[in-house]
C-alpha cells in the first residue's frame, strides 16, 4: 500500500506568500543599502576620511549576495584605494586676509597648517606673483636663496620657532612701496600640497600740505600740494564754516620712490581762511593747512603748531615773572 503526500492548496499558497515577502524585504534592504552607499560616497567626496571609506567597504560586503562578483571585486579595489588615500597626511594652508605695515617697518606675513602638524620636512614657498623667482623658499630643512627675487635679498626670514606645530610666518624687513601686493604661501609634502593668500598693504603718511597763492594765474586762486603718501590719498578743501570747496583742478602722480603726490587748485572763497586736508584711508591720518587770505602768505600746520608751542610757554613764564615781581614788591613794602 503506497502513501502519497501532497501539500494542501492552503499550505502552498502560504509558502508562496512567504517567498514573495522575503524577496520584497530583500529588495527593500538592497535599495536602502544602495541609498546609504550613495550618501556615504557624496560625503566622502566633500570630507574624505578613513571612517567614511570603511563604512563604504562594510556596505559593499553586506550587499555582496545581491551584486555580481565582478562588480564586488572592482568595488572593493576602488574602495581600498580610497582608504589608502584618506590615510595619507592631509592639511589646509591658512593665513589672514590682509596685513597693513608702515613704510620702512618690519612686517610678519602669517601662515600655518590646519590641523597642527610638523612642517620641518615640507617645502614652504612664499612667492608673488609668479612661482619662481620667489620671495622666500624653505626646502629640505633649510632656506634656499638661489632664485630669490632681488628686491627681497637680505630682507626675508622664515620664522621656525613653531614650525613643528605647522606655524611659519614670513618676516620682511624694511618694507618698501614695491612690497605691496598679493603674497602666496605654498606648502607641499610628499602626499599633499596647498596654498594660502595674504594681501600686504604698505602705508605712508605724506608731508604736511602746503598752501600757496597761485601766482601763475591770478591772486584769486591757490594751490595745495603734499607728497609721500601710500596708498593714493584724497584732498578736500573747506572754508571757515567747514563747507567743502570744489577744486578747479586736481592731479595725483607717483614720485621716484613710488609714493603718491597730490596737487589741487581752487578759486579762493570770500571767507578769510581756507583749509586743505589730505587724508589716507588705510592709516586713517590727515593733515590740514590754513592760509590767512589777508596776509597772502602760506602757513603750514607745523608753523601754526609751533607758534602755539612757543606762545603758551612764553605766556606762562610771563605770568610767573609778574607774580614774582608782585610778591617781591609786597615784601619790600613791609620794610619801608
The pLDDT of residue 182 is 97
Q: How far is CA 57 from CA 32, 61, 81, in A?
A: 15, 6, 11
Confidence of residue 43 (pLDDT cuts 50, 70, 90): low
Q: What is the dihedral of CA 322, 323, 328, 333, to 10 degrees?
A: 100
pLDDT, tens digit, 9 for 90 and up, residues 189-223: 998 999 999 999 999 999 989 888 766 655 678 88
**Residues 167, 196: Cα–Cα separation, whole Å:** 13
Q: How does strand 234-239 pair with strand 273-280?
A: antiparallel
DSSP β-bridge partners for residue 298: 291
Distance CA 300, CA 313 (A): 21
* 175, 258, 283 from 229: Cα distances, Å: 14, 9, 10
CATH superfamily of 92-203: Immunoglobulins (2.60.40.10)
**pLDDT per position as a tens digit, 6-22:** 545 444 444 443 444 34
pLDDT computed for residue 330 by the predictor:
59
Model confidence band, residue 286 (pLDDT cutoffs 50, 70, 90): confident
Return the domain boundaries, the chain. 31-87, 92-203, 210-309
Q: Do domains 92-203 and 210-309 have the same CATH topology?
A: yes
- Whether residue 183 is predicted with pLDDT greater than 90 in this model: the reply is yes
Give pLDDT, residue 267. 85
What CATH number was assigned to the domain covering residues 210-309? 2.60.40.10
Query: Which residues make Cβ contacts (< 8 Å) with residue 139, sequence separation at least 6?
Result: 123, 124, 125
DSSP letters of 190-248? SS-EEEEEEEEEEEB--PPPEEEE-TTT-TTEEEEEEEEEBS--EEEEEETT--EE--S
Question: For residues 230 and 260, is the Cβ–Cβ distance under 8 A?
Answer: yes
pLDDT of 313 higher than 90: no
Q: By the 8 A CB rule, do 255 and 207 touch?
A: no
**Interval 107-122 mean pLDDT:** 97
Is the CB of residue 111 less than 8 Å from the CB of residue 196? yes
Give me the count of residues in the chain.
Answer: 336
What pLDDT was estimated at residue 150? Answer: 96
Q: Which one is predicted more confidently, 2 or 75? A: 75
Residue in 221, 253, 255 with CA at minimum distance from that of residue 237: 221
> Residue 129: is the preceding peptide bond cis (ω within 30°)?
yes
Q: Which residue has the higher pLDDT, 138 or 13?
A: 138
Identify whether the C-beta of residue 234 lies closer than 8 Å to the C-beta of residue 244: no
Give the residue from 266, 284, 264 showing the smallest Cα distance to 274.
266
Q: Name the percent of the chain lying above pLDDT 70.
A: 56
Amino acid at each position: 500500500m503506497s502513501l502519497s503526500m501532497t501539500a494542501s492548496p492552503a499550505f502552498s499558497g502560504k509558502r508562496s506568500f512567504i517567498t514573495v515577502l522575503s524577496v520584497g524585504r530583500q529588495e527593500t534592504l538592497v535599495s536602502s543599502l544602495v541609498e546609504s552607499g550613495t550618501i556615504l560616497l557624496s560625503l566622502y567626496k566633500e570630507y574624505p576620511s578613513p571612517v567614511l571609506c570603511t563604512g563604504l567597504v562594510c556596505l559593499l560586503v553586506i550587499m555582496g549576495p545581491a551584486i555580481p562578483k565582478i562588480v564586488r571585486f572592482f568595488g572593493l579595489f576602488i574602495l581600498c584605494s580610497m582608504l589608502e588615500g584618506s590615510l595619507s597626511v592631509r592639511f589646509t594652508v591658512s593665513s589672514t586676509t590682509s596685513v597693513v605695515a608702515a613704510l620702512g617697518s618690519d612686517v610678519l606675513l602669517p601662515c600655518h597648517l590646519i590641523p597642527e602638524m610638523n612642517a620641518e620636512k615640507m617645502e614652504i614657498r612664499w612667492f608673488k606673483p609668479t612661482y619662481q623667482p620667489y620671495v622666500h623658499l624653505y626646502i629640505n630643512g633649510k632656506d634656499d636663496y638661489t632664485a630669490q627675487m632681488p628686491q627681497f635679498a637680505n630682507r626675508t626670514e622664515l620664522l621656525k620657532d613653531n614650525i613643528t606645530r605647522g606655524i611659519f610666518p614670513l618676516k620682511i624687513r624694511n618694507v618698501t612701496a614695491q612690497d605691496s601686493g598679493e603674497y602666496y604661501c605654498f606648502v607641499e609634502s610628499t602626499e599633499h600640497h596647498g596654498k594660502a593668500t595674504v594681501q600686504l598693504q604698505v602705508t605712508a603718511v605724506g608731508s604736511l600740505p602746503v598752501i600757496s597763492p597761485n601766482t601763475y594765474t591770478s591772486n584769486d586762486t591757490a594751490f595745495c600740494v603734499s607728497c609721500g603718501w601710500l596708498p593714493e590719498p584724497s584732498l578736500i578743501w573747506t572754508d571757515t564754516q567747514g563747507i567743502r570747496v570744489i577744486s578747479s583742478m586736481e592731479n595725483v602722480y607717483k614720485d621716484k620712490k613710488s609714493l603718491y603726490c597730490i596737487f589741487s587748485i581752487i578759486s579762493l572763497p570770500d571767507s578769510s581762511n581756507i583749509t586743505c586736508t589730505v587724508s589716507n584711508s588705510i592709516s586713517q591720518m590727515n593733515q590740514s593747512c590754513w592760509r590767512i587770505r589777508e596776509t597772502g602768505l602760506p602757513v603750514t600746520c607745523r608753523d601754526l603748531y609751533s607758534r602755539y608751542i612757543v606762545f603758551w610757554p612764553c605766556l606762562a613764564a610771563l605770568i610767573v615773572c609778574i607774580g614774582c615781581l608782585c610778591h617781591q614788591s609786597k615784601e619790600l613794602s613791609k620794610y619801608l
